[in-house]
Amino acid sequence: MLLHISHNDLDGVSCGVLTKRFLREVDNIYCNYNEIDHILAEINTAEYERILITDMSPSRRAFERLQGEIEIIVIDHHESSTWLKEITETVHDISRCATMLTYEWLADMGKDVSSYRDLVECVNDFDMWHLKRKDSLQMNMLFMKLGVERYMDRFVRRPYNGFNEDEMLIVDLETERRDKYIHAASKSGFAMKDANGLDFFTVFAEEYSSELGNHIIKDLEMDYVIIINMQRKKVSLRSRPAVDVRKLAELNGGGGHKNAAGFSFTFDFCVMDFLRDIGVVYEG
């Protein structure tokens, strides 16, 4: 039996679709970045032959606790997991999403995964924020509306060959709601400047972090955006190409990519303390 631990976003869950479809004997667990160490600490290694971690990585301390007890494989595309290549089997490439890397890993094992190529390319287009395909943003909408279990069930049962009529209706309705939400949210935030003279925008929002961040950066000409989700206790960071927000996420226990990162927070998180730490000058 394989234990597959993965991030709980579109990319991470799509990795789970592939392992469930082609490996069968799999237990899937989905979590945030700050939860993986706790999950690894609670595992009964006697129940599993090996552990697969995709689209995220544990801390060195959490990994070392299990080292020697069970085989651990990591498939990831974040800079923060580079160190794992020296001590365990690791598939690592920052130019492609974890779903794409998992797809290629399965193909190298001799699995005929070709029927899932379109889904994999769609997820890669969204997660790497290429947005060359119209359906990649729509796929993330569908994922958000279906939730993890329904999304898993839908795509494990059959590959992606375009949305069916019911799925397209969900996407169309959600597109209308998203556009209204982004417009309203972008009017409710605060423009600020950090200690390095960079312009950023802070906004409280619970949905569409990537789309909202992209809209604010382009339309309001910001260097980066801080999106605070109080419901999920999560901060999402988005930036223009030249600005690296991953380091800010890592300083707060999170991770991600140069232009798209994030971290989770606890009940005692103070927004003003966080902003003060990056040297905020409030503009209005």
Task: Report the pLDDT value the prediction gives residue 284, as an integer from 0 to 100.
Answer: 45
Provide the pLDDT confidence category of residue 218 given band limits of 50, 70 and 90.
Answer: very high
Cβ–Cβ < 8 Å for 4, 16: yes
- 141 or 276: which carries more pLDDT confidence? 141
φ, ψ of residue 39 to 5 degrees: the values are: -65, -45
What's the rounded mean pLDDT across residues 200-228? 93
Over residues 142-172, the pLDDT tens digits come to 999 999 999 999 999 999 999 999 999 999 9
Please say whether the beta carbons of 134 and 140 come within 8 A.
no
In a domain, 172, yes or no: no
Measured distance between the N- and C-terminal CA atoms of the chain, rounded to whole angstroms: 56
Residue 221 Ramachandran class (φ > 0 left, ψ -120 to 50 alpha, else beta) = left
Task: Quote the pLDDT of residue 280.
Answer: 62
pLDDT value, residue 270: 75
CA 118 to each of CA 107, 160, 278: distance values in angstroms, whole numbers, following the listed order: 15, 6, 41
Q: What residues make up the domain containing 14?
A: 2-162
Same domain, 8 and 121: yes
- My answer on whether 150 and 40 are in the same domain is yes
Q: What is the structure's pLDDT at 33?
A: 85
226 domain residue, yes or no: yes
Structure tokens at 185: 């949210």
Mean pLDDT score, 27-45? 93
**231 and 148 within one domain:** no
Position 21 in a domain: yes
Say how far apart CA 78 and CA 92 lie, in whole Å: 8
- Specify whether 32 is located in the same domain as 146: yes
pLDDT surpasses 80 at 275: no
Which pLDDT belongs to residue 231? 85
Last residue of a domain, one of 147, 162, 177: 162
Are 36 and 155 within one domain?
yes
Instruction: Judge whether residue 174 has pLDDT over 50.
Output: yes
Which is nearest to 264 in space by CA: 283, 222, 236, 226? 236
Q: What is the pLDDT of residues 75-116, one digit of tens each?
A: 999 988 889 998 999 999 999 999 999 999 999 999 999 999
Q: Are residue 195 and residue 109 in the same domain, yes or no?
A: no
pLDDT (0 to 100) of residue 26: 96
How many other C-beta atoms are found inside a 10 Å radius of the C-beta of residue 277? 13
pLDDT single digits (tens) 236-272: 999 999 999 988 888 888 888 888 888 888 777 777 6
213 in Cβ contact with 225 (< 8 Å) = yes
Residue 169: inside a domain, yes or no? no
The conformation of residue 189, written as its DSSP 8-state character, comes to S
20 and 144 belong to one structural domain: yes
User: What is the tally of structural domains in the chain?
Assistant: 2
| CATH assignment of the domain containing 213 | 3.10.310.30
One-character DSSP codes across 164-187: -HHHHHHHHHHHHHHHHHHHHHHT
pLDDT value of residue 201: 94
212 in a structural domain: yes
Segment 5-33 mean pLDDT? 95
Give the residue among 129, 80, 118, 157 at the shortest CA–CA distance from 241: 129
Residue 175 within a domain: no
Examine residue 167 and state whether it is found in any structural domain, yes or no: no
Higher pLDDT, 179 or 281: 179
We report the CATH number of the domain holding residue 137 as 3.90.1640
* Residue 129 scores a pLDDT above 90: no
At 2 the three-state DSSP class reads strand
User: Does 177 map to a domain?
Assistant: no
**Same domain? 12 vs 104:** yes
CA proximity to 96, closest of 78, 74, 77: 77
Residues 251, 120 share a domain: no
The per-residue pLDDT for 114 is 98
Contact between residue 262 and residue 254 where contact means Cβ atoms under 8 Å apart: yes
Three-class DSSP category at 16:
helix
